[in-house]
Amino acid sequence: MWKEKHPDQPLRWPDGIRLPILVSVHHQSEEATCPFPDGQPDPFDYGERQYGARRGAWRLLEILGKHGVRGTWLICGATLEKYPEVSRAVKQAGHCIAGHTYAHEVMCNFPPHTELGLIKKTVSAFEDLLGEHIQGWRTCFASHNTIDLILEHFDFEWDGSMWNDDLPYIIEGHGRQVLQIPFANYSDTALGVDITSPSNPPTRYSTWNANPPDFQFRGLKSAFDALYERGAERAVMMPLVAHDFITGRPFRAKVLDDFIAYAKQFEGVVFAGHDQLASWWKNLYAA
């Protein structure tokens, strides 16, 4: 069992930081392809998602590099095994690297022993192929067992699986602590609209059901403006999720490019990896 620990008073980021923006890239490629009733993968959805490792991830790497932005790449173990050159480029660029399940499994559908095995399989893939002992994790659709499994069996410094808060908080249990850094989908899936037909079932996770670029940019700008204003008085953060097969498409990538350029104009805005934010928060909490 575990418990949450929250500060008993409002905290502020280190001097000079008003709004940290956490760009987290979900690198999953064709993992989680929607199946047909007979269990076979939908070839249209498969190709849509496969675009992530073939083109989208590289485009996002290029944009982050152009702006000197260090982000966090949440990588599925199976994706790392199939497309190791992407993850090697991510590591070489100095981004924070974390696990994102093995094949984008919906963990809330599995018993604890299956979930534990999939996490271990993912951790091993990073160690074997990338020489990386990962310190962070984000589960796809966390189960009621996810936090206990992470605390009891792994040495992750942070987890980013929850959607339930605006700021980090410490989770304590099984004799150790992990920092929870909640996330939200600002950049891609949350801004999709379901325009469907009976032959094309609705999904938030498809680029062909997308709102136009100006709508997406307005959404990002509104979120940023509200958080930046609030950041004058207390600690805030802006999680910004970018799936490689969604935000990596040319018009959505342009939105991310333009938004980063917009946000960088403001004093006190920093783009940080989850490992950096975890260090700041733990130091603030300890103080």
Domain range enclosing 87: 12-286
Could you report the per-residue pLDDT of 93-139, keeping only the tens digit for each?
A: 999 999 999 999 999 999 999 999 999 999 999 999 999 999 999 99
Beta bridge partners of 104: none
**Does a structural domain hold residue 140?**
yes
**Does a structural domain hold residue 7?**
no
**Does a structural domain hold residue 124?**
yes
**Does a structural domain hold residue 5?**
no
Tell me the whole-structure pTM to 2 decimals: 0.93
**Does a structural domain hold residue 213?**
yes
**Does a structural domain hold residue 4?**
no
CATH code of 25's domain = 3.20.20.370
**Does a structural domain hold residue 153?**
yes
Taking alpha carbons only, the member of 259, 257, 271 closest to residue 62 is 257
Distance CA 67, CA 264 (A): 9
CB-based burial label for 38 (10 Å; 0-12, 13-18, 19+): exposed
**Does a structural domain hold residue 75?**
yes
Could you report the per-residue pLDDT of 165-224, keeping only the tens digit for each?
A: 999 999 999 999 999 999 987 777 555 544 444 455 555 555 555 677 888 899 899 999
Provide the number of structural domains found in the chain.
1
